[in-house]
Amino acid sequence: MKPDYSLYLVTDRGLSRGRTSMEIIEAAVKGGVTVVQLREKHANTREFLHEALKVRNFCREKNILFIINDRLDIAQSVDADGVHLGQDDLPIEYARRFLGPDKIIGTSAFNETEAMEAEKAGADYLGISPIFTTPTKPELETGIGIDGLRKIRKSAKIPMVGIGGLGSTNAYDVIMAGADGIAVVSAIVSAADPEKAAAEIKSEIERARKDML
101, with CB counted inside 10 A (0-12, 13-18, 19+), is: exposed
User: Do the strands 7-10 and 125-128 form a parallel or antiparallel pair, or are they unpaired?
Assistant: unpaired
CA 2/CA 189 separation, integer angstroms: 26
Helices (H) and strands (E) in the chain, counts: 9, 8
Look up 108 and say whether it is catalytic. Answer: yes
Q: Which residues contact 141 (CB under 8 A, 6 or more apart)?
A: 133
Catalytic status, residue 137: yes
Query: Which residue of the set 21, 108, 168, 186 is catalytic?
Result: 108
State yes or no: is 39 an active-site residue: yes
For 21-59, the DSSP string reads: HHHHHHHHHHHT--EEEE--SS--HHHHHHHHHHHHHHH
Catalytic, out of 16, 21, 39, 56: 39
Residues 154 and 102 sit within 8 Å (Cβ to Cβ)? no
By the 10 Å C-beta count (0-12 exposed, 13-18 middle, 19+ buried), 140 is classed as: middle
Residues in a beta bridge with 109 = 128
Q: Among the options 137, 150, 196, 209, which is catalytic?
A: 137
Q: Which residues are catalytic?
A: 39, 108, 137
